[in-house]
């Protein structure tokens, strides 16, 4: 039985790493304080990646709104994430930067649905590249269609990762709202992303099988990765 053929009573789909905790954090800087918040977030990257249980930690900025930042982090389990949040570095950043933020950070939790590439390797995005694109599309699915949508999305993973401009393509399910799925995608440039959106696989699976099963049309965040290559 594949990871998209069954779901638990809470709506959770099977995961290749069921204990893994993925956290997508949003931080919005006050006008004029964008660089201060950005620097504070980037200072957390090295220590976070060195923590036991960290599987990845990257900082991004919305291309259309330079004061909006997203951190995508993967942790081996809840204990590893809890330990990260208790570190002096994180506690100091949250305290010191509170006046620079419009509101407290918003944390969203997810589980991975796609397995990492078989060889464990992938090209890393380049930090701060103006051409490179990080895309996070969100799909709010009709409750009865989650399994079908996940199956279609998972069918997209292997062919998409093989595309020349793809630097990363991973599928997640929200833990708080199991009818919400999202991809974490990285592309060499907009041309590579545009080519992906016009592939036969995209039209077959996303346009043909996913879109009719959504509660609302999908929407995406388009971002620049700010953190330097590194980590697992």
- Every domain of the chain and the residues it spans: 21-225
Q: How many Å is the maximal CA-CA distance in the chain? A: 52
- DSSP, collapsed to helix, strand or coil, labels residue 214 as strand
Mean pLDDT by 10 residues, the chain (232 residues): 59 95 98 98 97 96 97 98 98 97 98 85 70 96 97 97 94 98 96 97 97 98 89 44
Residue 117, pLDDT score = 83
Q: What is the pTM of this model?
A: 0.93
Query: What does the alpha-carbon distance between residue 31 and residue 89 come to, in Å, rounded to a whole number?
Result: 24
Distance between start and end Cα atoms, the chain: 29
Do the beta carbons of residue 132 and residue 126 sit within 8 Å? yes
Q: May I ask the CATH class of domain 21-225?
A: alpha beta
Residue 194, pLDDT score = 98
């Amino acid at each position: 039985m594949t990871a998209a053929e069954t779901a638990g009573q809470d709506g959770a789909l099977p995961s290749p790493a069921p204990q893994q905790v993925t956290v997508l954090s949003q931080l919005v800087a006050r006008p004029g304080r964008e660089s201060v918040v950005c620097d504070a977030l980037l200072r957390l990257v090295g220590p976070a990646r060195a923590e036991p249980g960290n599987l990845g930690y990257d900082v991004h900025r919305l291309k259309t709104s330079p004061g909006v930042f997203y951190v995508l982090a993967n942790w081996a389990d809840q204990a590893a994430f809890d330990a990260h949040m208790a570190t002096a570095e994180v506690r100091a950043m949250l305290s010191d930067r509170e006046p620079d933020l419009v509101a407290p950070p918003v944390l969203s939790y997810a589980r991975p649905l796609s397995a990492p590439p078989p060889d464990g390797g992938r090209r890393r995005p380049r930090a701060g590249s103006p051409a490179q694109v990080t895309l996070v599309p969100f799909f709010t699915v009709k409750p009865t269609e989650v399994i079908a949508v996940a199956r279609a999305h998972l069918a997209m993973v292997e062919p998409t990762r093989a595309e020349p401009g793809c630097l990363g393509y991973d599928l997640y399910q929200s833990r708080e709202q199991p009818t919400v799925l999202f991809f974490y995608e990285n592309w060499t440039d907009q041309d590579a992303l545009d080519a992906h959106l016009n592939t036969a696989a995209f039209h077959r699976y996303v346009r043909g099988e996913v879109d009719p099963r959504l509660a609302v049309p999908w929407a995406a965040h388009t971002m620049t990765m700010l953190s330097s290559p590194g980590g697992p």
